[in-house]
Amino acid sequence: MMEAAQGWLALPLALLLAAVLTPMLRSWLLRCDLVDLPGERRSHDAPTPRGGGLAIVAAILLAAFLAPVAVWWPAVAVVGVLAVLGWFDDRSELPPSLRLAVQAVAAVLGLAWVGPVETVSIFGDAFHLPWLWTPLAGIAVVWLINLHNFMDGADGLAAMQGVWSGLAYALIMWTSGLEALASFALAMAGGFAGFLFWNRPRARIFMGDVGSLVLGGGVAMLALAGAVSGAASVWLSLILTSVFVVDATATLARRVVRGEQWYTAHRQHAYQRLIVAGWSHAQVLGLYVAANLLLVMPAAWAAIVYPDLGAVIAIGLIVLLAGGWWIIQSATRTENQWHE
């Protein structure tokens, strides 16, 4: 019991480490001239250092090792692989094919270490189809990694989601007796919270790909572990990440239908549309926080209390958020049509 309680130290430890390391890293990045310059496809208007995710990674890994509970090695390994990929991509943009290949390797490693997804419950009926669910889980892991990368384009937005996801999964894993997973989730929440202090509007540093890929990988590993252990159903994980999943997936689908290169920089996500239309980064951040608190949190609670209705609740929430995405796209069409 004492060890379980001490595991919560991962949160303040990672928070403190990230908050202290980030400004030090910022000074070094500026000396190295590793900065994001303003541009037509970007949402900031001043040169800002990128690569701040290194501080997040260091905070998460140090907290994971120093917190007095078992280290969850699969997540540590996957996070390490993605951190290296993201750092090299921040320094010199890598080909999309190479990025995707490394992400696929990370997904395979995650599945190999955590285990296959054998059963998924749909409308209360359990379907034991490991030959289907496991490869779909691998695809989902790669997509979660990428979509969190796509959604890192407004001050504080991705860092906020890291705090939200970490806290939500920590509570779920701890109540299920999975202390190592909960400790990792707490370290993740703390790392992104400490970074958020410097990344909140107006951001003084960006996390870059090294941070956003680690965020996506961390969330994916927690979702995968939840599905394999039964602590968090596929539907509950979809609910927890729905705000980012809907914006990224709907935007990608629209770009593909239009015949556009989905992997190139653009400003067509809902949050980007709002910024171009005149919303401040703080207002956009507030909107996504409100969506998590007022829509996602009640839906997640309902899915936990009524697990047989998880699919219905998740689909209903996705439809609701997709409707909000469409309203934003339609309302900002005139303002943004010259910026696409």
Query: Which pLDDT value is given to residue 8?
Result: 81
- Which of the pair, 47 or 322, is modelled with greater confidence? 322
For residue range 276-298, list pLDDT tens digits in order: 999 999 999 999 999 999 999 99
Q: Hey, is 263 helix, strand or coil?
A: coil
DSSP 136-187: HHHHHHHHHHHHHHHT--STTHHHHHHHHHHHHHHHHHHHTT-HHHHHHHHH
| Stated pTM of the model | 0.93
Query: Which pLDDT value is given to residue 337?
Result: 47
For residue range 200-245, list pLDDT tens digits in order: 999 999 999 999 999 999 999 999 999 999 999 999 999 999 999 9
273 neighbors 267 (Cβ within 8 angstroms): yes
Kindly indicate the confidence band of residue 1, based on its pLDDT and cuts at 50, 70 and 90.
very low
Closest by Cα among 142, 138, 103 to 248: 142
Domain map (residue ranges) of the chain: 1-33+49-111+128-232, 233-340
| Single-letter amino acid code for the residue at 83 | A
Kindly indicate the confidence band of residue 115, based on its pLDDT and cuts at 50, 70 and 90.
confident
